[in-house]
Amino acid sequence: MATDTTSTSLESAAQGVSVTGWEAFKNSWFYKFTLFPLGQIFGFILGVSVILTVLALLLAVVFPEPRENINLTQQIARQLPDMIIGGVSIGFVYAMIALGYTLVYGVLKFINFAHSEFFMVGSVVGFEVMQRIGAAGEGVLEAWNPILLIVALVLSGMVISGTLAVIVERVAYRPLRGAPRLVPLISAIGVSFLLIDVVRGFAAITRNDFNLTYPVSQVSFFQQRPEITLTPENAPLLQFWFTAANRDEIDIGLRMTSLIIIVAAILMLLILNWFVNGTKQGRGIRAVSQDMATAGLMGINANLMISLTFFLGGAFGGAAGVLYGLNVGTVTPFVGFIPGLTAFTAAVLGGIGNMTGALLGGLALGLIETFLNGILVYFPAFGQRYTPVFTFSVLILVLLFRPSGLLGAKVDEKV
């Protein structure tokens, strides 16, 4: 995510200028792999939220009262914190899935249709592990350190989904490398369907049911809802907000699981950024995605790098699955489809093949979705049920007017 900083360091090294002060700080590990990506993340959240709020308020100007006794401006002002927090948390889930699509597209130039199933497998694995820990006895889950529990769940989801992704690549994609583009795509569709039913069969045998409910209720930590109350006293600058909402104080209720998603996702994204942009293996992946044949000539094992990419993509999908499962509570073998499609839209929106783009696209779509969910309720002719339609419309519009995405470079198709 911080690729552009490396070029400046190379330039200054080439010019022989001794780097001091700001320049030195810019080249420091801390800036490149912590401060800069964190700044990007917060910048994206802030930017998208502001744009969406403005759009929502514009809508409120056009339809001040979509229903009787409903003042849209007031409603937006009241719901804003919830919409933003909810949007950011689901946006991080989308971003983590979208990264898998983008990484694989980067190296193989094909859309891994089965990627949403790695997400699904991750969510089911998270359930299995949590269920098994909980089955050891009454109060066992409660006795675990919650942080340790989350780390264990996420890691198990990552390892299994990542391994699965590597196996799928080896079995279903590698024999097809170099075939016409439709061939691996169709194979990927097949893998996707296969995985859904394998997991369903597994759930059927072990649980005789495929609505898998995380035992979240057994852990009081997950049930906590830290609340922040804003009043004119502690936030005098937000006076306009209190006026808009027509309230004396605004409660910001945080769901613990949303917070977990946000913190875990930020940590993992920082690690991924460091891995891809700051390690030898990451350089190998980037080299293969630029030019596989030349990378091979430079002594990079392309197949190994592709497997590594699939592992990374699958692992991130799996982690997203666990976090998503913790947040929504119940997962099924079919859970991957809609988030997968939304995440794919996010990857395309940001510019497929571009990791920063996947992050931006994921956050943007998450926020768009919660804003739509929050606002469409007041329009009886539409309602929330049309949210997926709007998501697809975003995809179609992006592909029509900017096929390379928001941040993607325009690449001419080779003839």
CA distances from 394 to 32, 167, 342 (A): 32, 33, 10
Q: Residue 137 gets which letter from DSSP? A: S
Q: Report residue 185 as tokens.
A: 């795509």
| String marking each residue 106-135 x if it binds another protein according to CB under 8 A | ----xx------------------------
- One residue of 230, 388, 404, 407 binding another protein per CB under 8 A: 388
Residue from 184, 313, 321, 351 touching another protein (CB under 8 A): that is: 184
- Residue 160: how many other CB atoms lie within 10 Å: 22
- Nearest 5°: the CA angle 189, 191, 192 is 65
Rounded Cα distance, 229 and 206, in Å: 45
Q: Is the distance from CB of 48 to CB of 369 less than 8 angstroms?
A: no
Taking CB under 8 A as the criterion, the residue among 96, 121, 129, 191 binding another protein is: 191
Minimal distance, residue 203 CB to another protein, in Å: 8
> Binder to another protein among 159, 386, 402, 406 (CB under 8 A)?
386
Contact (Cβ atoms closer than 8 angstroms) between residue 121 and residue 318: yes
Strand partners, 250: 230
Q: Judged by CB under 8 A, which of 94, 395, 405, 408 binds another protein?
A: 395
Q: What span, in angstroms and rounded, lies between the C-alpha atoms of 200 and 297?
A: 44
Per CB under 8 A, 67 contacts another protein: no
Q: Which is nearer to another protein, 88 or 98 (CB)?
A: 98
Rule CB under 8 A: choose which of 94, 222, 311, 344 binds another protein: 344
Residue with tokens 């917060």: 42
201 binds another protein (CB under 8 A): yes
**What is the Cα–Cα distance from 304 to 314, expressed in whole angstroms?**
15
The SS3 assignment for 227 reads: strand
197 part of the interface to another protein, by CB under 8 A:
yes
Please compute, for residue 68, the number of CA atoms within 13 A of its CA located in the half-sphere on the CB side: 0
Q: Amino acid identity of 88? A: V
183 lies in the binding site for another protein (CB under 8 A): yes
Binding of another protein by 181 (CB under 8 A): yes
CB of 69 to another protein, least distance (A): 19
In terms of CB distance, is 175 or 226 closer to another protein? 175
90-98, 206-214, 224-232, 308-316 -> range binding another protein (CB under 8 A):
206-214
CB nearer to another protein: pick between 241 and 337: 337
- Please, are residues 222 and 146 in contact by the beta-carbon 8 Å criterion? yes
244: number of CA atoms within 13 Å, CB side? 17
- Comparing CA positions, the residue from 106, 150, 110, 111 lying closest to residue 267 is 150
Interface with another protein, residue 70, by CB under 8 A: no
* Member of 6, 28, 239, 301 binding another protein (CB under 8 A): 301
- In the bound state with another protein, the residue whose beta carbon lies nearer, of 81 and 296, is 296
Does 238 interact with another protein (rule: CB under 8 A)? Answer: no
With beta carbons less than 8 A apart as the criterion, state whether 347 and 336 touch: no
Q: How far is the CB of 175 from another protein (least distance, A)?
A: 5
Choose which of 198, 263, 271, 411 interacts with another protein (CB under 8 A): 198
Give the integer Cα–Cα distance in Å for 125 and 336. 13
254: which DSSP letter?
-
Among 28, 263, 403, 409, binds another protein (CB under 8 A): 403
* Amino acid letter for position 292: M
**Is there binding between residue 263 and another protein (CB under 8 A)?**
no
Residues 141-160: x where in contact with another protein by CB under 8 A, - otherwise, as a string: --------------------
Residues that bind another protein in the complex, under the rule CB under 8 A: 110-111, 167, 170-172, 175-187, 189-198, 200-201, 203-205, 208-210, 293, 296-297, 299, 301-303, 337, 341, 344, 348, 380-381, 383, 385-386, 388-389, 392, 395-396, 399-400, 403, 413, 415
